[in-house]
Amino acid sequence: MANLRKKLPPLTALTAFEAAARHASFTRAATELGVTQAAVSRQIHLLEEDFGFPLFHRLHRRIELTEKGRLLFSAAGDAFSLIADAVADLRADGPDDELAISATISFAHFWLMPRIAAFSRAHPEIKLRIITQDARIGTEGGDIDLSLRYGMGTWPDGQAVFLFEDEVFPICSPDYMQTRGPILSPADLVDQPLISSDADDPTWTGWEEWLAAFSVKAPKKSRGLRCSFYTEVIYAAMNGQGIALGWSRLVSDLIQQGRLVRLTDASIRTRAAYFVVIPARRPVKESARLFIEWLGSEHASGEPFVRNA
């Protein structure tokens, strides 16, 4: 064992390297690990000094693994997965059947939490743990049983099962609509304060893309509020700050409650969709299987979309 330890690099540095390689980003690795970007960069620099060769090509605004870096990433990923599987098996032997589900803040806040009580009533024996974070949480560590994600369905850490698509249209508060007069077409929106969010996800539809779908050019300098998270966008719209883009799956309850209203008949279909991701290299827990079935039943009972674009 002593000889083995001498052959291995420091675990902290190896963990930082694996996260950076998986995300292709020091910044995203730092977010996942809960440390600074400088700390991740320092650990990888120490690792490269220990090996005597670079593990990454530092390019303009991005990084790429070197050939030796790819070999180490493959080995580290396999090793971490084996450890995660063993830990998951040990935890599964415990008395509580806890089901850990990860989701983005907006999906958890506006779709999952208003509905999940129905699942708990049907399966009171299952203990739920909801983990919300906009930065994607990987399933390799063994802490996540299922991950609810929005994207193209191509993630390397698990099998993506399609849930549903979405459509996007402009929304605002009832008071805002009454005070600003009729807004009947996408062209009527450009002079309004348009609320937006700083989304890192390239599949997330912004105002420029949405207006372009109707041959309308977005204003160069919008008077609208800019927020960090989509949840803030929705609350700003409900409080009369302006007009936001509403994802039907996320805002349908708020529209039914009269807290938001839809503007114009125009909408676009999203390029991406919602998926539930099942971790790779691990058997599906019975509680996870029941939750996936429940997700399917919730989708089946949902309102059909009306496509206008």
Tens digit of pLDDT at every position of the chain (309 positions): 445 556 678 888 889 999 999 999 999 898 888 889 999 999 999 999 988 999 999 988 889 999 999 999 998 888 887 877 776 666 554 445 689 999 999 999 999 999 999 999 999 999 999 998 876 666 655 678 999 999 999 888 889 999 999 999 999 999 999 998 788 899 999 989 999 988 667 778 899 999 999 999 988 777 789 888 899 999 999 999 999 999 999 999 999 999 999 999 999 999 899 999 998 877 888 999 999 999 988 765 544 333 332
Q: Domain ranges in the chain?
A: 2-80, 95-165+272-300, 167-269
Is the fold of 95-165+272-300 the same as that of 167-269?
A: yes
CB 262 within 8 A of CB 303: no
Q: Is 168 helix (H, G, I), strand (E, B) or coil?
A: strand
Fold classified for 95-165+272-300: D-Maltodextrin-Binding Protein; domain 2 (3.40.190)
What distance in Å separates the CA atoms of residue 56 and residue 64, rounded to the nearest whole number?
5
Q: How many CA atoms lie within 13 A of 258 on its CB side?
A: 1
| CATH class held by domain 2-80 | mainly alpha
Write the Ramachandran bin of 212: left for phi over 0, alpha for psi from -120 to 50, otherwise beta: alpha
Predicted TM-score of the model (pTM): 0.65
CATH of domain 167-269: 3.40.190.10
Q: Is 197 exposed, middle or buried (0-12, 13-18, 19+ CB in 10 A)?
A: buried
CB 137 within 8 A of CB 105: no
List helix spans (H) across the chain: 2-7, 11-23, 26-33, 37-51, 67-92, 105-107, 113-122, 174-180, 207-212, 230-238, 248-256, 286-300
Q: Is 24 helix (H, G, I), strand (E, B) or coil?
A: coil
